[in-house]
Amino acid sequence: MNLILKATKFSALKHQSQKRKDRKTPYIIHPISVAMILAEIGGIDDKEILSAALLHDTIEDTDTTAGEIEIEFGSRVRGIVEELTDNKLLSYAERKQLQIDHAPKLSKEATLIKISDKISNITDVINERPPEWDNNRCDEYIDWAEAVINNCHKVNTPLENHFYNLVNSYKLK
C-alpha cells in the first residue's frame, strides 16, 4: 500500500503542470485511472505492477529518469516503466508503428498496463473527445489501439474483453 501511495504522490508531482488532451483534466487522473482499471477490472493486486501503472508515463512525458524510478521504487518497477516508454527521438508515426511491432515482446506486467492504458485512452476519446479531434482522428486512434492490443499476448481475459467491448461499441455507433 505504501508503495502505491508513494507512486501516486511521485507521479502527481511529476505531471503537476500537465493536462490531458481535453486541456482541462489534470494529467494525474489518467495514470490513476490506469491503476484502477488494473485493480477493478483486471483483479491485479500486485503493488509493484499498480505502482508501475501510476508511473507509466513519467519517463516519457516528464523529466523523470529511469534511475530515479529505480531508487524510489526498485528495479522491477523501473523495468516495467521502461518497457512502456516510447523513444521520443523518433517521429510520431515511427513511435506509433513501434508500439504495434513491440507489443508481442512486452513482459506480462507491461502488457497488463498497456491494455489498461488503451482502455483509459479510448474511454476518454469516447466520453470526452479532445476538442480538435474530428471523427477521422478518433477512428484512426481506435484502429491503432486495436492493432497494438491485437499484437499483445493475451494475459487477462476480463481486461481483454473490456477492451474489445469498448472498441466494438464505438464502431457500432
Residues that bind Zn ion (CB under 5 A): 57, 117
**Burial bucket for residue 18 (CB in 10 Å: 0-12, 13-18, 19+):** middle
Indicate if 60 belongs to the active site: yes
Indicate if 109 belongs to the active site: no
Q: Please identify, using beta-carbon distances, which residue of 122 and 167 lies nearer to Zn ion.
A: 122
Distance of closest approach, residue 142 Cβ to Zn ion, in angstroms: 16
Q: Please identify, using beta-carbon distances, which residue of 2 and 37 lies nearer to Zn ion.
A: 37
Q: Which helix (H) or strand (E) holds 41?
A: none
Residue nearest to Zn ion (CB): 117
Distance of closest approach, residue 90 Cβ to Zn ion, in angstroms: 17
Distance of closest approach, residue 30 Cβ to Zn ion, in angstroms: 6
Collapsing DSSP to helix, strand or coil, 15 comes out as: coil
Q: Assess contact for 80 and 109: CB atoms under 8 A.
A: yes
All three cell numbers of 119, joined, read 482502455
Q: Please identify, using beta-carbon distances, which residue of 31 and 167 lies nearer to Zn ion.
A: 31
Q: Rounded to whole angstroms, how far apart are CA atoms 55 and 12?
A: 9
Q: Please identify, using beta-carbon distances, which residue of 2 and 128 lies nearer to Zn ion.
A: 128
Catalytic one of 22, 40, 57, 60: 60
Q: Which helix (H) or strand (E) holds 74?
A: none
Q: Rounded to whole angstroms, how far apart are CA atoms 26 and 92?
A: 23
Count of alpha carbons within 13 Å of 156, Cβ hemisphere only?
Answer: 23
Q: Assess contact for 86 and 95: CB atoms under 8 A.
A: yes
Distance of closest approach, residue 50 Cβ to Zn ion, in angstroms: 14
Catalytic one of 22, 45, 48, 61: 61
Catalytic residues, by residue number, are 60-61
